[in-house]
């Protein structure tokens, strides 16, 4: 088999993510404004912090910064989820992580389709947070059955997209022409439709049960509901959004600002209210699409994550109702208990690191010492924080809520079912902690092997 006949999954994902961004910029002009702001803030940050610029370049993160984004969609049935899984596989994106949003009163559970190996992440880390509606959590029988019947009628994929996925699976790749066609056809699934498939009464009945149910059920497809560029200074973005006419959500989600950023910080702007034509020619509106910004830090181990969750839990009662400035101040006080030094994070086993030989290490040949901390002290080995590539359920809940309106509802809580989502996908969900741990372990082995062990 001549592999070079086929376009690599990384290249297809890169083309797709650019096409998606272009489509969303055309559909939602505020997103374009946001991208300009992020670009400006990233350039200002790098200009003021040459050490950060140098570090990004050294860590191969420079290239990906400009193309980096995630998006989100919500689908209605197991069949749609299974087909999406196959479609994303063409682009080297696999389901990683299980997120139960029922705890936030949203009747969905989710995974993120994303690249998993280092080279692919460095090429373009595009990820899609994908939620599956859980109609089984809706208690009203008539409404649940109505929604299921409507969903059963639609096909969110074009015939050509289906055919190209099958072609990919049978021949093991796509040729240049097929890959181009694939990007165009796959994009159709994520397009906005200003006409609903149902009448206004049906929309309102579903909306009254939960806004998200109406969003998933009433349209021809799972329109992309936001795209999220990566910034190097989210506090600056939050401050500057009003200057470009964008109103940010009240507070930045996630951990506070730190010297060693951890996990993920996110903020967004409110969803737009858009005009919709319903079946029977009634006019109405629907609110779904928004913009979001994220700043990423180091991935935490299970211990680090437990500490994060505990501190976040402690902060909850104390930050309730605060504006962003006070919220961040209180968070920072509480997170003083979370070591903010790379060496400490490593020695206490709170975060994941990738080990590499330094120049001195490469020149050293065989070295007797096997203790990594000693090797780091002797400047033979360096440890780089591994970037967190995933999502945070509490933050996601905050993003959902700020865009769905209304506060928390307990109606659907306590219903995590990873098995049900895996069954819908038709494959096991990859455990994100295992990916980071494996990455760290592999780098440790490589370093020790290079030093003669
Ligand atoms: C997804 C919200 C979650 C994030 O970045 O945490 C999310 C949605 O609203 O569909 O995108
Ligand atoms: Ni998001």
pLDDT in tens, the chain (453 residues): 555 789 999 999 999 999 999 999 999 988 999 999 999 999 999 999 999 998 888 887 777 887 878 999 999 999 999 999 999 999 999 999 999 988 888 899 999 999 999 999 989 999 999 999 999 988 899 999 999 999 999 999 999 999 999 999 999 999 999 999 999 999 999 999 999 999 999 999 999 999 999 999 999 999 999 999 999 999 999 999 999 999 898 999 999 999 999 999 999 988 889 999 999 889 999 999 988 999 999 999 999 999 999 999 999 889 988 999 999 999 999 999 999 999 999 999 999 999 999 999 999 989 999 999 999 999 999 999 999 999 998 888 777 777 766 555 566 766 779 999 999 999 999 999 999 999 999 999 999 999 998
Pocket test for ligand 1, best of 396, 397, 405 (most atoms within 8 A of CB): 396
Measured in Å, residue 32 CA sits from the centre of ligand 1 at 19
**Closest atom, ligand 1, to C-alpha of 129:** 11
For residue 370, the CA-to-ligand 2 centroid distance in Å is: 42
**pLDDT value of position 395:** 82
- Cα–Cα–Cα angle for 100, 105, 107, nearest 5°? 60
Nearest residue by C-alpha to atom 11 in ligand 1:
72
- Ligand closest to the CA atom of residue 271: 1
Contacts of 20 (CB under 8 A, 6+ apart): 71, 187, 190, 224, 227
Instruction: Look at residue 3 in the predicted model and tell me its pLDDT.
Output: 53
Ligand nearest to the CA of 291: 2
CB 294 within 8 A of CB 268: no
Pairing relationship of beta strands 273-279 and 195-199 according to DSSP bridges? parallel
Task: Kindly give the distance from the C-alpha atom of residue 294 to the centroid of ligand 2, in angstroms, as a whole number.
Answer: 8
The end-to-end CA distance of the chain, in Å, is: 37
Q: Is the CB of 396 under 6 A from ligand 1?
A: yes
Tell me, what DSSP letter sits at residue 152?
H
Atom of ligand 1 nearest to the CA of 294: 5
Classify residue 23 by burial, with Cβ atoms within 10 Å: 0-12, 13-18, 19+: middle
Burial state string for 418-444 with b = 16 or more CB within 10 A and e = fewer than 16:
eeebeebbeeebbebeebbbebbeebb
- For ligand 1, is residue 151 a contact (CB within 6 Å)? no
pLDDT of residue 409: 59
Regarding the beta carbon of 99 and ligand 1, being less than 6 Å apart is answered no
**Which numbered atom of ligand 1 lies nearest the CA of 290?**
9
Question: Closest by alpha carbon to 107, among 220, 204, 209?
Answer: 209
Ligand 1 pocket, mutate which of 72, 225, 230 (most atoms under 8 A from CB): 72
Q: Does the Cβ of 402 fall within 6 Å of ligand 1? A: no
Closest ligand to the CA of 110 = 1
Whole-number Å distance between alpha carbons of 66 and 63: 7
CA distance 218 to 198: 6
Task: Please tell me the predicted confidence (pLDDT) of residue 406.
Answer: 54
Burial of 93: CB neighbours in 10 Å, binned 0-12, 13-18, 19+:
buried
Q: Is the CB of 391 under 6 A from ligand 1?
A: yes
Per the listing, tokens 């809706």 go with 138
Residues 6+ apart with CB under 8 A from 136: 144
The bound ligand whose nearest atom lies closest to the alpha carbon of 224 is: 1
Contact criterion met (CB below 8 Å) for 329 and 315? no
Please list the alpha-helical segments (H only) found in 320-404.
324-334, 342-347, 359-364, 372-377, 393-404
């Amino acid at each position: 088999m001549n592999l070079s006949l086929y376009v690599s999954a990384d290249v297809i994902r890169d083309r797709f993510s650019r096409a998606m961004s272009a489509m969303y910029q055309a559909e939602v002009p505020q997103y374009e404004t946001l991208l300009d702001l992020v670009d400006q803030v990233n350039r200002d940050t790098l200009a003021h912090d040459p050490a950060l610029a140098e570090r990004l370049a050294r860590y191969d993160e420079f290239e990906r910064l400009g193309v980096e984004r995630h998006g989100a969609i919500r689908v209605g049935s197991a069949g749609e989820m299974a087909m999406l899984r196959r479609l994303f596989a063409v682009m080297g994106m696999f389901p990683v992580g299980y997120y139960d949003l029922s705890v936030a009163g949203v009747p969905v559970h989710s995974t993120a389709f994303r690249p998993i190996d280092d080279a692919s992440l460095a090429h373009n880390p595009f990820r899609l947070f994908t939620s599956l509606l859980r109609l089984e959590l809706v208690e009203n029988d008539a409404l649940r059955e109505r929604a299921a019947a409507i969903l059963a009628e639609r096909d969110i994929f074009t015939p050509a997209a289906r055919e190209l996925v099958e072609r990919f699976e049978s021949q093991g790749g796509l040729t240049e022409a097929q890959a181009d066609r694939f990007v165009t056809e796959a994009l159709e699934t994520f397009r906005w439709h200003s006409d609903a498939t149902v009448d206004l009464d049906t929309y309102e009945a579903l909306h009254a049960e939960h806004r998200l149910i109406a969003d998933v059920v009433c349209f021809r497809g799972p329109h992309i509901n936001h795209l999220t560029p990566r910034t190097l200074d989210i506090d600056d973005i939050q401050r500057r959004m009003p200057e470009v006419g964008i109103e940010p959500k009240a507070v930045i989600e996630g951990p506070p600002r730190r010297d060693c950023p951890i996990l993920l910080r996110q903020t967004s702007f409110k969803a737009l209210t858009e005009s919709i034509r319903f079946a029977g020619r009634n006019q109405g509106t629907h609110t779904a699409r928004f913009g979001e910004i994220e700043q990423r830090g180091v991935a935490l181990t299970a211990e680090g994550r437990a500490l994060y969750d505990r501190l976040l839990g402690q902060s909850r009662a104390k930050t309730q109702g605060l504006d962003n400035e006070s919220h961040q101040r209180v968070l920072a006080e509480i997170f003083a208990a979370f070591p903010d030094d790379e060496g400490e994070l490593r020695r206490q086993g709170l975060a994941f690191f990738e080990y590499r030989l330094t120049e001195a290490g490469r020149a050293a040949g065989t070295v007797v010492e096997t203790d990594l901390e000693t090797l780091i002290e002797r400047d033979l080995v360096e440890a780089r924080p591994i970037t967190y590539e995933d999502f945070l359920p509490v933050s996601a809940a905050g993003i959902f809520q700020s865009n769905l309106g209304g506060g928390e509802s307990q109606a659907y809580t306590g219903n995590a079912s990873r098995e049900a989502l895996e069954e819908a996908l038709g494959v096991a969900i990859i455990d994100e902690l295992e990916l980071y741990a494996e990455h760290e372990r592999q780098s440790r082995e490589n370093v020790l092997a290079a030093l003669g062990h």
